[in-house]
Structure 1
Amino acid sequence: MSGSSPSTNPPQGDAAGNASAIAKQRFDVAFASELLESGTVNDHQLASVIRNWSIHGSTPLAEHLVGAEKLSSERAEDIKRRAAKRISDSDTARAATNTKLSAGSSLIEALEQYDKGGRVARLLRVGVGVGIGESSVRRAEGRYELLRKLGQGGLGRVWLARDQMLDRVVALKELSDDDCPSPELVDRFRREAEITGRLEHPGIVPIHQMGSDKETGAAFYTMRFLGKKTLQDEILEHHHRREEGVESPLRLRHLLRDLISICNAVGHAHAHKVVHRDLKPDNVVIDSFDQVIVIDWGLAKVLDDLAPERVSDSGGAYGLGLQTREGQLLGTLLYMSPEQAAGRIDDIDERTDIYGLGGILFSILTGCSPHELLHAEMLDSGRGERDIVTKIAAGPSPTVEAFTPDVDKALAAICAKAMAWRPHTRYESATALAEDLQLWLSGEPVSAYTEPPRAQLRRWFGRRPYLSRLLTAAAAVLFAAAMSSAFVMRQAQSADRQRVFDRMRGDAHEIELKLHAETTDLGKNTRFIASLPPIQGLIKAQANPAKDNPVVWRERLETIYSGMLRANPDYLSVAYYASQPVEGGEARLPAVRFRELARVERSVNDRSLIVVAPAISLDVVNSPFLMHAAQLAPGEVASIVRQTAADARYRQWRLESGLMVYDEATGAPFGVVTVAADISGQLREILAGLRSVVGEVYVGTGDGDIWLMADSERGPGVWREGESLVDIESRAQQALESELLPAEATDGETFFVRKFKIGINDLKASVLVRLTP
């Protein structure tokens, strides 16, 4: 069996008899596993379809799904090929170890072989626990006797074991010895046990012991046996009942109380500087006492740990549960936060777990994972997992209303805040999220949602039934009720204004980050220009023009400069200067004059026209900026923001970077390379990139001179010449005068100003946002 590839259709015919029926079951299990893992359907959708189908019947699962119009014929054939490959790979692996399934193998064995994650077994309501024969019985540390396998994941296997010393059953997790685990994998396994062991909380699985098997040498640890019922099972059952019309409000409240318990457990971990990084319903187990337990801390990280992370790659291809190292995916794709999707491991902290808790709430409210709809749309359009990751990282976050329009608005708002695209706008802690959920369960208003005034008033009357009856008969009390309503409306308006202000404050930080990135890139490109071979060629030609023609090297340099301006529409000019010493002074820098060797610039009248300055127009200039660049340490870039006479005509600010060039042969300083960019144009792009501008945004120098502004009516544009940020908002003066950066000033309601450094040479800029009066 291991040497042949199975057909993409399940074996049929009456000649095979019982063996054919078993082969059909195996193929159905492999097909269902591929169906779920590819994201073609989710657990809830597949469970709904197979209610009127039996794995013991004669109809293959693929045929049943196509007949029910839940799967296209083309997609079914693709999943069949994957299922056939899964079976073939499993047969090959068994052949390598001289083991194979018997002709009478049961459904349990098929699930064990082809359903490693146990998702299909849960949908079929089959408990998979593979026993071990007498020839395979072994003991770990001489204390634990392995009874049967409970499951297997990417990191190892979990067994039901008997602790012979205390005569109790435990769960024993060991590294699989089939794949010769790498030292990194062993380190990750031990780290999982150590992190889990230090978190003593009723909602976190307790670790009993860690050791290594005496026979196999495989590392293992034992923990409390919790059973196999997960929160995902509870969520599926809840939504099955909803579809059947037997929904109970108490079941939703029970799931929300479970989520509160999860929040408390995660909050305990955060208090110990541990983040889980893979929160989802499948990683929450509900034991026989209905206690909610958070498991699978294999991706957990200690925030205070300064050691570099070593996380083993799962295989190089994107998947629904891929876990990878720095710069790659880390977590489960369908529940992944934007910062995880972007691969920014250093940005992953407690707020990433808040997103995961929001994802669990999303699943409770909709029956789907947060990115399930996106995943299906991408697959239907022929796009791959990488496109899905890009979309998650770019935002926005999915909303509950898109899946369940009739969802309670307060719960939807809680979920939206927990899963906010920007981490700093999520709940501050898992405890804060739990408090909002508890307030909702208690019928109280939540912080994430401002109720309409009518609902608030109704709540107020509902709490005071005796007073309500009096109010209906007394005009004086009706007047008091009207005043109360007005107060509620003012509170709602104040809350809305605060949310708008918080959003504008986030826009200011986003402008700072993007402006810093633009100026840093200009400095890097200046270094690149200074390292070009024609730079040194022109130096040698200047020293010996009879041997090497300077014109040839200048033309080569001008060609490269022209290409850079075409590739960077915001770049205004690139130039190369040779320094000249003071008349009668020493032949070493600093020089006071600079002679242009090459200059390429963008036309003022036509930005698409690139102009190469002819040799006759190259001049000798006295420039304090070039002098400053020449006096810096080797490799240090000088930067300045200024308006030239030509720029002032068009209300244009330019950012200029300069770097000293040295003769590689002698090490002597030779001249300066400069690159100038249109910072006004870059700012227009940054401001236009904001989702929408509310109120007014001003961007300017560290001294307060305004470069550009934008408002909700006119969009990005120039401002009145000569007016500063202090003229716009006098309360900004203290922050603008501060030398200790970053510096901020705000009244917390109407304006926010921030002064900060940008680029690689301590340039200073400032941003002012304010609500329109």
Structure 2
Amino acid sequence: LELIGEGGMGLVYLAEQQEPVRRNVALKIVKLGMDTKQVIARFEAERQTLAVLDHPNIAHVFDAGTTRAGRPYFVMEYVEGVSITKYCDEQKLNIEERLELFKQVCEGVHHAHQKGIIHRDIKPSNILVSNHGDKALPKIIDFGIAKAITQSLTEETFFTREGQLLGTPEYMSPEQVDLATQDIDTRSDIYSLGVLLYVLLAGVLPFDRESLEKAGFAELQRTIREDEPPLPSTRLTSLGDKAKAIAESRRTQIITLTRRLHRELEWIPMKAMRKDRTRRYRSASELADDIQNYLTGTPLIAGPESAVYRARKFVRKHAGSVATAALVAVVIILGLVVSIVMGCRAEQAREKEAAARKQVEQALVRAEKAEKLAKERAEEYRRSLYLNRIILSDISYRDGNMRRVRELLEACPEDLRGWEWDRLNHISSDESCMTLSGHSDLVFRLAVSPDGKRIASGSFKGEFRP
């Protein structure tokens, strides 16, 4: 009826099947001039692939054969729909509705994987969505570069030509873009599903398509193999005015959409897109289960990459720089250790010196206190001696022993002499009072000369003193 699609090796027509059921079908036929052994083998492989798959989310094969000109063809289910991303945006499906649709895609891919088939080209244009009543039904199409894991799809040799990149680069896994290896398994499709989910949520590819197209093939390979894609929330906020249209097509606001992505929803595509395939979801079914976990509020299988894993990956990527930095770090650490040890020793020496200084200061304080106490006691003794001398002087004065009074008073320190000393000194210095001595016995008689200038005394022993 009309040409509705064209691929690298075949043309797809809308046709009408008459028997056994009259219906519109998609007729895929090898292009003229493309009927080489390799193309025919790949074409036959796609037909065999679709023939073994039976799932509501995968387009069915109804018939196959060869034209009169020898060009192989096969008849498959005609999906009257649009790509999944276009459908979601045109219908303005919210996040939950997009996730429900995506979950069906995961179930279809999981069915193919169970049959031992890897799609290898999962992208929006290979997932068509049409309405069946009030329900949207996604269908996976175009298994043209699918790879069998457990069985031979055709007796013809089917291979990827050396240096030929099969698939769409923006949706390719790191192992698929590496032409040096053919070690592709179902986890490659998990990666592509992660990119698809990223686009459904954030409205944009993880890596800018124009940048990838402008970059050389080697740079494209390096980007996909080594560069970590930005988080969907981060990518969305960097789009400026375009982000507003993306949010509106999801019936929400930019801030609300960014917040929802940032909380935990973006962990799901980021886990599916991990460079290390052993850290992706183990199957498309597990990915679908995690989508259901999010929808029901159950804890996710996914989570942000651990700091240990990121550090290990950084070390592998920058081994030379890390080794140099590690060597510098070791030198710095050794220097710090030596400095700390020397510092500790110096601190200990300072503490010992401070302790010795403190001991000396304490000894000096004790000596000063002892000296002060000695001086105080010496002063007390000196004052006591002074007081005793004053007392003895007073007694000697009463006894009339003026000479002794004078001796005692003269012995008194000048700085201690007070009124008591002055009194005794005054009365003992009066010339009208004299002490006469010289007798060894009691004096019983005195005689004074007529002029009053001389005196004579006599004792009981008969002593006479003029």
Normalising by structure 2, we get a TM-score of 0.59
Count of equivalent residues: 306
Of 226, 243, 247 in structure 1, the residue corresponding to residue 79 of structure 2 is: 226
Work out whether 1:348 is the aligned partner of 2:184: yes
Work out whether 1:282 is the aligned partner of 2:161: no
Contact 2:104-2:138 at 8 Å conserved across structures: yes
Residue 378 (structure 1) shift: 5.6
Of 330, 355, 362 in structure 1, the residue corresponding to residue 166 of structure 2 is: 330
Work out whether 1:421 is the aligned partner of 2:267: no
Inter-CA distance 158–377: structure 2 relative to 1 (3 Å threshold):
closer
Paired with 2:236 and 2:34, the residues of 1 have a C-alpha distance of 46
Secondary structure, aligned partner of 1:159:
strand
Contact 1:256-1:437 at 8 Å conserved across structures: yes
Inter-CA distance 684–417: structure 2 relative to 1 (3 Å threshold):
closer
Residue matched to 1:271: 114
Contact 1:211-1:220 at 8 Å conserved across structures: yes
After superposition, give the CA deviation of every residue in 1:687-716 in whole Å (9 maximum; x if it has no partner).
649xx9xxxxxxxxxxxxxxxxx7997599
How do 1:298-317 and structure 2 match up within 5 A? 298-305=144-151, 310-311=158-159
Paired with 1:251 and 1:213, the residues of 2 have a C-alpha distance of 46
Residue matched to 2:347: none
Residue 281 (structure 1) shift: 1.0
Secondary structure, aligned partner of 2:12:
strand
Residue matched to 2:229: 397
Residue 264 (structure 1) shift: 0.8
Residue 265 (structure 1) shift: 0.9
Residue matched to 2:96: 253
Secondary structure, aligned partner of 1:260:
helix
Residue matched to 1:188: 42
Contact 1:338-1:395 at 8 Å conserved across structures: no
Amino acid at match of 1:229: V
Instruction: Give % identity.
Output: 31
Residue 438 (structure 1) shift: 0.8
Work out whether 1:203 is the aligned partner of 2:57: yes
Contact 1:269-1:275 at 8 Å conserved across structures: yes
Residue matched to 2:9: 155
Residue matched to 1:536: none
Inter-CA distance 716–252: structure 2 relative to 1 (3 Å threshold):
farther
Over the aligned positions, Cα root-mean-square deviation in angstroms equals 3.4
Residue matched to 1:212: 66
Secondary structure, aligned partner of 2:204:
coil
Residue 334 (structure 1) shift: 1.6
Residue matched to 1:454: none
Inter-CA distance 176–428: structure 2 relative to 1 (3 Å threshold):
same
Work out whether 1:367 is the aligned partner of 2:203: yes
Inter-CA distance 203–348: structure 2 relative to 1 (3 Å threshold):
same
Residue 160 (structure 1) shift: 1.6
Residue matched to 1:292: 138
Contact 2:16-2:25 at 8 Å conserved across structures: yes
Work out whether 1:376 is the aligned partner of 2:239: no
Contact 1:684-1:716 at 8 Å conserved across structures: no
Paired with 1:343 and 1:716, the residues of 2 have a C-alpha distance of 43
Residue 355 (structure 1) shift: 0.4
Inter-CA distance 182–422: structure 2 relative to 1 (3 Å threshold):
same
Residue matched to 1:388: 220
Paired with 2:172 and 2:182, the residues of 1 have a C-alpha distance of 15
Higher helix share: 2
Residue 309 (structure 1) shift: 6.7
Paired with 2:47 and 2:122, the residues of 1 have a C-alpha distance of 17
Q: Which has the larger radius of gyration?
A: 2
Q: Relative contact order (C-alpha < 8 Å, sep 6+): which is higher?
A: 2
Residue matched to 2:284: 430
Paired with 1:257 and 1:712, the residues of 2 have a C-alpha distance of 53
Secondary structure, aligned partner of 1:404:
helix
Amino acid at match of 2:74: Y
Amino acid at match of 1:287: S
Inter-CA distance 149–445: structure 2 relative to 1 (3 Å threshold):
same
Inter-CA distance 436–212: structure 2 relative to 1 (3 Å threshold):
same
Inter-CA distance 228–291: structure 2 relative to 1 (3 Å threshold):
closer
After superposition, give the CA deviation of every residue in 1:290-329 in whole Å (9 maximum; x if it has no partner).
2211111111111135899744xxxxxxxxxxxx634442
Paired with 1:387 and 1:500, the residues of 2 have a C-alpha distance of 27
Inter-CA distance 163–402: structure 2 relative to 1 (3 Å threshold):
same
Paired with 2:328 and 2:117, the residues of 1 have a C-alpha distance of 42
Inter-CA distance 171–716: structure 2 relative to 1 (3 Å threshold):
farther
Paired with 2:296 and 2:327, the residues of 1 have a C-alpha distance of 42
Inter-CA distance 356–308: structure 2 relative to 1 (3 Å threshold):
farther
